[in-house]
Structure 1
Amino acid sequence: MSTSQQPTRRVPDDLSRVSIATETGGDSGEYDVTAAEEPNGKDAKNKLGPTGRPRREIPEPPLLERHGPARVVAMCNQKGGVGKTTSTINLGAALAEYGRRVLLVDFDPQGALSVGLGIQPHELDQTVYNVIMERSVDIEGVVRKTRVENVDLLPSNIDLSAAEVQLVAEVGREHTLLRVLRPVMDQYDYVLVDCQPSLGLLTVNALTAADGVIIPLECEFFSLRGVALLIDTIEKVRERLNPKLDITGILATMFDPRTLHSKEVMARVVEAFGDTVFDTVINRTVRFPETTVAGEPITRWAPRSAGATAYRALAREVIAR
């Protein structure tokens, strides 16, 4: 069932009641992704996943007879270092493995998404900044092919940081990204927008253009505390700018099954958001730096790894929703 056919998912307005028994800070640095092995056999249906719930049966995605129009999904969390860019790259690659055409939009002035796909932002003559600020620049001339078949990239660099100030005086400034994407919507099945770690005008643009939002949420106390502000922003954008906006799902990232803290945070997230939380959980490991250096998603760099399996499972869930 598509998201547009589902009732709008509501989330708690007040997360202050969510208590965590332990409050240990998460480690800094870059991390790979992995996940527990998927259950097989007769008992798979009743086996509990890392979310503490029985795993839901997700059918194999059907083949497509044609491409488009695209569903736009914003990867959004105002907290940095929670796996937004990692998830954008690897989810896009996994969707492509299921026959979907994907456009990845780097909407962060840091250009991490571009770097993660082997493109050096400082070497680019034109980026998403030129497309949104210069009417004469065509998006199709700026979109670049990546090493992954059926995955294209609209790159970014530090120039985009000026757009937030320059757009303030524009009429309909919140709809700028939507206007830019319209000419290519029929060429793709999914457009994944990697948002910057803030709730500024660029992020509002992404939410206004989006059909759904995926919230990567680090399994750590302070990450959970900040979700209420993000949910409030999503609600305001839905009410004032984009009535079709929905929360596609909450993705638990950097989960460490060895620690009580991660398990407690996971339990509270599921308690607060219920079925909105994806069954797929991204575990904390040290594999991701390898894929960053290689400039490839984990589905290509280590296709048989647990991390690649996790993002393929996430792609199935996204398609099913």
Structure 2
Amino acid sequence: MCRIIAVANQKGGVGKTTTCVNLGIGLARAGKKVLLVEADAQGSLSVSLGIQEPDTLDMTLVQILGKIINEEEIDPEEGIIKHKEGIDFIPANIELAGLETSLVNVMSREQILRLYLEEIKNRYDYILIDCMPSLGMITINALVAADYVLIPVEAAYLPVKVLQQLIKTIGKVHRQLNRKLSILGILLTKVDRRTNFSKDIEKQIREVYGDKVHIFAHCIPMSVRAAETTVEGKSIYAYDPKGIVAEGYRLLTGEVLDDEE
């Protein structure tokens, strides 16, 4: 069975795209068939996977969802790009922002992405959706399509502050639109264990949410190497395989695989 995971947080800069790329490629390295779906108009996932100018692409998630809305036939391979590190991905670009606006007038507008993924999910073990930093209609589509939500949270005050609103939204989607949706876990990112501040934030999250939501045992450490991978268009495993961030994502991948059992 395919597991669909939305990587979501309405706060930007917390490591959603980095997590989506490196968890996805980590799962592929473990022998899983993986599709990454970019549900963010900024095109960061595409850039991270080597697409220099996402806005010039002719076929993206926008065109695919447009066909679903218009009930047109879709080739299962259409719009899917194969990456040299063993994963497939569907890119997005600035046109996705326009689609989000136009969804207001579409029947069953929260279900469009789910309808598409239902057609192709039997080809994959995992589908990871990189959500935009908002709780708009495209993110709601991702939550309705998903089985689980993985929440990256930077070990800092403001990103932790908005976590409560996201958890409320996930609960609302679960009750009203997608009864199978649950939180896979909170992932602490950009953790600098050398500082007391970072340690205090981590302790606070575990104390406040630990009894309600799974919190991954392993964190993603702070490192400039993770940011550099975006420019290189490759995963942390290919760019800095012996570094602390690669080790962090290897351990995270192991936790996600363990959760299958």
Question: TM-score scaled by structure 1?
Answer: 0.77
Q: Does the 8 Å CA contact 2:221/2:248 hold for their aligned counterparts?
A: no
**TM-superposed deviation, 1:138:** 3.6
User: Gaps (5+ residues) in structure 1?
Assistant: 1-68
| Alpha-carbon separation, structure 1, partners of 2:240 and 2:224 | 13
Q: Residue 105 in 1 paired to residue 59 in 2?
A: no
Structure 2 unaligned segments of length 5 or more: list them: none
Could you say which residue in structure 1 is the equivalent of 2:132?
196
CA contact (8 A) 1:131 1:138 kept: no
Q: Does 1:270 align with 2:206?
A: yes
* Greater relative contact order structure (CA < 8 Å, 6+ sep): 1
Question: Does structure 1 residue 175 correspond to structure 2 residue 108?
Answer: no
1:95, 1:306 → 2: CA distance? 18
Q: What letter matches 1:317 in structure 2? A: E
For residue 155 of structure 1, the aligned residue among 91, 97, 102 is 91
Aligned CA RMSD, in angstroms, stands at: 1.1
Q: Aligned pair 1:250/2:183, yes or no?
A: no
CA offset at residue 205 of structure 1? 0.3
The one-letter amino acid of 1:76's match is A
Distance in structure 1 (CA, Å) of the matches to 2:227 and 2:12: 17
Deviation at 1:223, TM superposition (A): 0.9
Alignment partners' CA distance in 2, 1:164 and 1:249: 27
For residues 113 and 271 of structure 1, the distance between their equivalents in structure 2, rounded to whole angstroms, comes to 32
Contact 2:229–2:235 (CA under 8 A) maintained in structure 1: yes
Count of residue correspondences = 252
Which letter maps to 1:240? Q
CA distance in 1, matches of 2:143, 2:24: 18
Give CA deviations for 1:159-180 in whole Å, capped at 9, x if unaligned.
Answer: 1111111111111110100111
Match status 1:70 vs 2:16:
no
**1:125 paired residue number:** 58
**Which has more radius of gyration?**
1
Residues 48 and 229 in structure 2, CA contact (< 8 A), matched pair in contact too: yes
Give 2:79's aligned amino acid. Answer: V
- 3-state DSSP class of the match of 2:234? coil
- Does the aligned pair in 2 maintain the 1:139–1:180 contact within 8 Å? no
CA distance in 2, matches of 1:102, 1:273: 29
Percent sequence identity is: 44
Deviates more, 1:299-308 or 1:238-247: 299-308
Structure whose residues are more often helix by fraction: 2
Aligned partners of 1:76 and 1:195 also within 8 Å? yes
1:1-321 alignment to 2 at 5 Å?
69-119=1-51, 120-134=53-67, 135-149=72-86, 151-274=87-210, 276-321=214-259
